[in-house]
């Protein structure tokens, strides 16, 4: 399986199937697993000791014995249950540790896998669906282990105790437990097979519901702006109804749980059998009591298996959904051991064709060259493929045909981390984390001091508005930076790029939300920062286009012209149309407003 980055989780698990995936995580914690099994066995064995001692006490009383004669059995029961309680504490403590460790490890493994997937993978995955797998499906694996597997292991020993202990009372008494155990096993297999596809539906429908919820909340401003609240509520209600229907189906299957009926029949048949053996003189009354107590041990597995098997089925369904994400192959690899030299900044596109989906290319046979340390502007109408070019430079995506080279080395031959760490991209849609302003600026350079952060902010014309906040650089911004204006977010992104000090700087319409006066100052800072580094400008600002060393004109994914501003203005009709479209608004914006 290829991936952009492989998380160093410190362990290796089996991804061949959901069962092997679960077992490989279980094998990582043998000690707590063994303690859980020992606790479960001792719980069943010591529970079986109670009816045995009671049977002896009953015979003693029938034979005329008093309190003194039954006191040894009373003491034996008390001591055995005290020991049982201590071992149960060990068992429950171990099983909870077991479950929590598995949840931690699976979540870490899944999170690392998600970070290692390519953007092509994430472009096709609803965020809410992914969140459902990272949170709820992983949690279901926790509950699958405890109480799920904990109860199943414990109930398994309770099922065996009557079969093991009843021959000691009379060999014929083993008949009822064996018949019960056989029919019980058949009923459980049928129950699990019926329940499994339903639990798969429960988890899948929950994922769809969660995906819709996340999408709606992410686009809440659009929903409110279009007055679509009721329609979204109706659609979400349909999805919640789907979750409810699957849950009701699960409840319907659980309501027809056959082992409840089998328990009553086994208890009745065993008691009748014991009474018959008593009447023909093969056992005494105390053994009837002991045998009935042994049959009552079946109650624990019968009553707990309904919940535990359902929980295991849900956990198994969650494991399959988690493994489906982990096993999804992506189209990029980290290429550890690839080229890692410092970037000089030369960029070459050789007959590049690329599309986000098969059969629908966005770029067609694109070729151009950017010399190291030069500033290049890429212009074109909306949808011409300008931003796509930047995503190929840092290998967010790989080309379908042709080559993209950095310093005459194909980007696919670079170590991906070494390549991306030397390229900074500032996009129009700025993403900020819910962290302090200082942490957002130093995101690409975690070792930067506060003084360096402040210097970068000053260069990006962000220092003044940052210091206007009560907490200054410690101000926590909202998710995606919603507490800041568009211009403030862009200036923080520019400061982040300045602090990273990359050999290649790409600005994708990064000053679109900034007023003209601030833009002039930022432009001067960008001009100063671009000295000695390769700078790619994607912009409609003519003031920025003019000072580029080279201009590339795109139209419908093809390079239709290249050259200097004056040359293109004279020779390229496509460039003149772009220039005419944006020149008038810029000039009119600079005119004084008429008075009176």
Domain boundaries, the chain: 18-326, 334-422+503-591, 429-501
The CATH number fitting domain 18-326, selected from 1.20.1560.10, 2.60.120.20, 3.40.710.10, 3.40.50.2000 = 1.20.1560.10
Please say if the pLDDT value at position 513 is more than 60.
no
The pLDDT score that the predictor gives to residue 594 is 37
CB 490 within 8 A of CB 514: yes
Q: Do domains 18-326 and 429-501 have the same CATH topology?
A: no
d(CA 194, CA 310): 11
Question: Burial letters for 134-162: b for 16+ Cβ neighbours within 10 Å, e otherwise?
Answer: bebbbbbbbbbbbbbbbbbbbbebbbbbb
Calculate what percentage of the chain has a pLDDT beyond 90: 45
Give yes or no for residue 592 having a pLDDT over 50: no
Residue 426's pLDDT is 82
CA distance readout (Å), 46 to 53, 79, 271, 288, 576: 11, 10, 22, 19, 91
Q: How far apart are CA 482 and CA 213, in angstroms?
A: 19
The pairing of strands 401-406 and 375-380 is unpaired
281 contact partners, CB below 8 Å, separation of at least 6: none
Which CATH architecture best describes the domain 429-501? 3-Layer(aba) Sandwich (3.40)
* Residues in a beta bridge with 506: 425, 536
Residue 595 has pLDDT above 50, yes or no: no
pLDDT of residue 224: 79
CB atoms within 10 A of CB 366: 24
> What beta strand segments (E) does 272-321 contain?
none
Indicate the pTM of the whole model.
0.74
- 173 versus 65: the higher-pLDDT residue is 173
Q: Among all chains, which residue has been given the structure tokens 């199937």? A: 17
Q: Is the predicted pLDDT of residue 110 greater than 70, yes or no?
A: yes
| pLDDT band, residue 501 (cuts 50/70/90) | confident
What's the rounded mean pLDDT across residues 78-88?
94
Task: Sort residue 136 into left (φ over 0), alpha (ψ -120 to 50) or beta.
Answer: alpha
CATH of region 334-422+503-591, choose from 3.40.50.12160, 3.40.50.300, 3.30.479.10, 3.40.190.10: 3.40.50.300
Q: In this predicted model, what pLDDT tens digit does every residue of 428-467 receive, in sequence order?
A: 777 888 889 999 999 878 888 999 999 988 888 889 999 9
Q: Are 22 and 317 in contact (CB under 8 A)?
A: no
Which pLDDT tens digit goes with each residue over 267-283?
A: 999 999 999 999 999 99
Mean pLDDT over residues 516-531, rounded? Answer: 67
Distance CA 44, CA 52 (A): 13
pLDDT at 593 > cutoff 60: no
Pairing status of strand 423-426 against strand 504-508: parallel
- Asked whether residue 406 carries a pLDDT value surpassing 90, the answer given is yes
Burial of 119 (0-12, 13-18, 19+ CB in 10 A): middle
State the DSSP H helix or E strand holding residue 239, giving kind and residue range, or none if neither: helix 229-255
CA-nearest of 363, 390, 380, 403 to 552 is: 380
């Amino acid at each position: 399986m290829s991936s952009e980055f492989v998380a160093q989780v410190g362990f290796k698990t089996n991804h061949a199937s959901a069962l092997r995936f679960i077992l490989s995580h279980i094998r990582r914690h043998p000690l707590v697993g063994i303690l859980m099994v020992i606790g479960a066995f001792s719980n069943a064995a010591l529970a079986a000791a109670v009816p045995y001692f009671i049977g002896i006490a009953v015979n003693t009383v029938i034979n005329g014995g008093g309190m003194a004669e039954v006191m040894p059995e009373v003491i034996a029961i008390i001591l055995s249950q005290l020991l049982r309680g201590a071992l149960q504490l060990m068992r429950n403590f171990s099983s909870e540790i077991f479950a929590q460790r598995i949840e931690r490890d699976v979540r870490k493994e899944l999170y690392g896998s998600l970070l290692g997937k390519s953007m092509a993978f994430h472009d096709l995955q609803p965020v809410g669906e992914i969140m459902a797998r990272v949170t709820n499906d992983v949690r279901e694996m926790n509950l699958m282990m405890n109480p799920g597997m904990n109860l199943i292991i414990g109930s398994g020993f309770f099922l065996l105790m009557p079969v093991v202990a009843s021959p000691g009372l009379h060999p014929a008494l083993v008949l009822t437990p064996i018949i019960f155990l056989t029919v019980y096993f058949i009923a459980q297999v049928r129950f699990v097979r019926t329940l499994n596809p339903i639990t798969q539906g429960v988890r899948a429908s929950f994922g769809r519901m969660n995906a819709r919820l996340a999408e709606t909340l992410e686009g809440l401003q659009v929903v409110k702006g279009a007055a679509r609240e009721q329609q979204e509520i109706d659609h979400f209600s349909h999805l919640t109804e789907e979750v409810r229907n699957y849950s009701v189906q699960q409840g319907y299957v659980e309501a027809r749980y056959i082992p409840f009926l089998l328990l009553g029949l086994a208890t009745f048949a065993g008691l009748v059998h014991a009474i018959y053996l008593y009447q023909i003189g093969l056992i005494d009354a105390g053994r009837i009591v002991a045998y009935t107590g042994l049959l009552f041990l079946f109650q624990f597995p019968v009553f707990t298996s309904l919940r535990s098997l359902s929980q295991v089925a849900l956990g198994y369904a969650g494991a399959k959904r988690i493994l489906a994400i982990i096993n999804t192959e992506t189209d990029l690899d980290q290429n550890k051991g690839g080229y890692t030299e410092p970037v000089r900044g030369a960029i070459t596109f050789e007959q590049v064709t690329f599309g986000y989906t098969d059969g629908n290319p966005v770029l067609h046979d694109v070729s151009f060259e950017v010399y190291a340390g030069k500033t290049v502007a890429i212009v074109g109408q909306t949808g011409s493929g300008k931003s796509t070019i930047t995503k190929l430079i840092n290998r967010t995506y790989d080309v379908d045909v042709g080559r993209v080279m950095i310093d005459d080395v194909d980007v696919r031959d670079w170590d991906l981390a070494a390549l991306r760490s030397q390229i900074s991209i500032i996009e129009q849609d700025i993403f900020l984390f819910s962290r302090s302003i200082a942490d957002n600026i130093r995101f690409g350079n975690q070792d930067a001091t506060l003084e360096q952060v402040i210097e970068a902010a000053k260069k990006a014309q962000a220092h003044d508005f940052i210091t206007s906040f009560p907490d200054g650089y410690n101000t926590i911004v909202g998710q995606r930076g919603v507490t800041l204006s568009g211009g403030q977010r862009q200036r923080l992104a520019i400061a982040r790029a300045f602090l990273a000090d990359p050999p290649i700087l790409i600005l994708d319409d990064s000053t679109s939300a900034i007023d003209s006066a601030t833009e002039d100052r930022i432009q001067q800072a960008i001009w100063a920062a671009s000295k000695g580094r390769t700078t790619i400008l994607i912009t409609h600002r003519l003031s920025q286009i003019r000072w580029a060393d080279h201009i590339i004109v795109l139209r419908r994914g093809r390079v239709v012209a290249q050259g200097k501003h004056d040359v293109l203005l004279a020779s390229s009709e496509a460039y003149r149309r772009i220039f005419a479209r944006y020149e008038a608004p810029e000039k009119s914006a600079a005119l004084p407003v008429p008075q009176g």
